[in-house]
Structures are given as structure tokens and as C-alpha cells.
Amino acid sequence: MKTGRAGRLIVGNWKMNGTRAALAEIRAMAARDDLWVAPPFTLIHAALEAGGGRVRIGGQDSHVRDFGAHTGCVSAAMLADLGASFVIVGHSERRSDQRESDAEVRAKAHAGQAAELDVILCVGETLEQRDAGRAEAVVADQLMGSLPDDPAGLIIAYEPVWAIGTGRTPTVADVGAMHAHIRARLVAQFGDAGAALPILYGGSVNPGNAAALLAVPEVGGALVGGASLTAAGLIAIAEAVPD
């Protein structure tokens, strides 16, 4: 798995944003060779060309099956066939908008691994759950319910739901505590392999707060929504990675 400075992964998630005009941003991101971007499915093929092999391109979701009668869905096998190298599963927007369960997210992770994609598995609590003091328990439940059997190519993204797209972020102490908690679960589940899996932070990461968030122990990179829509934004975040 190709990582950037100090082993950190900087991954953009474009969500339902981007038409062909946005391919210029991918071309500009190719000034670096360590950025990952998940554009909408409609742009993946063109984004792979625009990135010229220097930008790793992935899907924002994929189906649990390889092929079949599932109108409107895209499989991990199809993503891999195009040349995509990773897939995001279990994003909180899919868990809420599409009512995806932990079991479904787990099946998606298995399908992604079977297609030899790196799999970014997202977990995170709502504000209500955090305020009730349940953040760690909720994240542990999501992890245990959605982790695949095998850690091959697995990346975890901790994304507190209340920090996504809101401009609010947890304190560095809270991020550190949650990442340590996730690390302990991964080690309990996978042993030494669990100690090596990257754990990304996501939720309102921007060029101004990236240095502080990426300096937190156990933060292995960032999953970036809004600030990843421009090359300038994503590159500034990558440049903020502390040595």
C-alpha cells in the first residue's frame, strides 16, 4: 500500500460531487504521487487517466456481490477491473441514507478484499451518542460488527458523524483516545497485523487543522471530504503532514 510522508495516507472522498470539469483537479493532484481520491463512479475511468498512474483512484462504495441483478449498483470486481485500487465501505452517510448495517458493511469489506482492493472501513459515533458517553462503545460495536475476517489491505477511518461537513472537529485528546481504543480492538482481533493497520481520522479536516490532527499518535492519515474537492486543498493537507 503506497503511503505518503511519514507513512500517512491522505485520501479524498468527493461524495456526490464532480463532473468532467473536475478532472482538472485530479490532473493537478498528480503533482504528487501519494494522494488517494474516491471520485463518483462516473469519473473513475477518466480520473485514472487524468491521474496518470500517480493518483490512486478508488470507489466510495461497492456491492456485496460481484455481478448480478442489482440495478444501479457497482461491484468491487468492476472497480478492480477498471484499475481502481481501493474502496470505501461503511461511510456514515451510507449507513444512514442507505440504512447499511454492520453485517452488510462487513460483507462489502470481504467483497473488496476478494477483488484485491484496499478497503477503507469507516466507523464513528453521532453527537447524541458522544454526549451520552457512549462514543467508545458505539465505535467498538461498529468495528466488531463490520471488521472482515482477515486484515489484508484493511484501513480503518474514524469519522465522528457530527464532525463530517460541519467544520467541527473533536479535540486532539479525544481523537487520540478514540484511535488508541480502535488500535486496542484491532490488536485484540488481528494480533501483530492489527498493530500495523492504518487508522485515518475524518471529519472537517482542512489545511488549517491537518497538522495538529495528523500529529496525534495513532492517526495514520486523513479521510477528507469538502477540502479534497480541489487539488490545492488536498495538496495543502498532504503538505501539512508532520515529519
Rank residues 175 and 205 by Cβ distance to ligand PGA and give the closer one: 205
* Cβ-contact 214, 240 below 8 angstroms: yes
Can 181 be counted among the known catalytic residues? no
Can 25 be counted among the known catalytic residues? no
Q: How far is the CB of 167 from ligand PGA (least distance, A)?
A: 8
Report how far residue 78's alpha carbon sits from residue 240's, in angstroms, rounded to the nearest whole number: 34
Rank residues 77 and 125 by Cβ distance to ligand PGA and give the closer one: 125
The CA-to-CA distance between both ends of the chain, in Å, stands at 19
Q: How far is the CB of 66 from ligand PGA (least distance, A)?
A: 26
- Residue nearest ligand PGA (C-beta atom): 225
Choices 21-29, 126-134, 200-208, 231-239 (CB under 6 A): range interacting with ligand PGA = 200-208
Report how far residue 214's alpha carbon sits from residue 219's, in angstroms, rounded to the nearest whole number: 6
* Cβ-contact 205, 229 below 8 angstroms: no
The answer to whether residue 221 forms part of the interface with ligand PGA (CB under 6 A) is no
- Which residues, in sequence order, are CB contacts of 97 under 8 Å at separation 6+? none
Residue from 58, 59, 203, 233 touching ligand PGA (CB under 6 A): that is: 203
Farthest-apart Cα atoms in the chain, separation? 48
* Cα dihedral value 134, 136, 141, 142, nearest 10: 110
The answer to whether residue 223 forms part of the interface with ligand PGA (CB under 6 A) is yes
The answer to whether residue 210 forms part of the interface with ligand PGA (CB under 6 A) is no
Give me the count of residues in the chain.
243
Choices 101-109, 148-156, 183-191, 224-232 (CB under 6 A): range interacting with ligand PGA = 224-232
Query: Among the options 63, 91, 179, 181, which is catalytic?
Result: 91
The answer to whether residue 159 forms part of the interface with ligand PGA (CB under 6 A) is yes
Please give the DSSP secondary-structure letter assigned to residue 21: G
Annotated catalytic residues are 91, 159
Which residues here bind ligand PGA, judged by CB under 6 A? 13, 159, 164-165, 202-205, 223-227
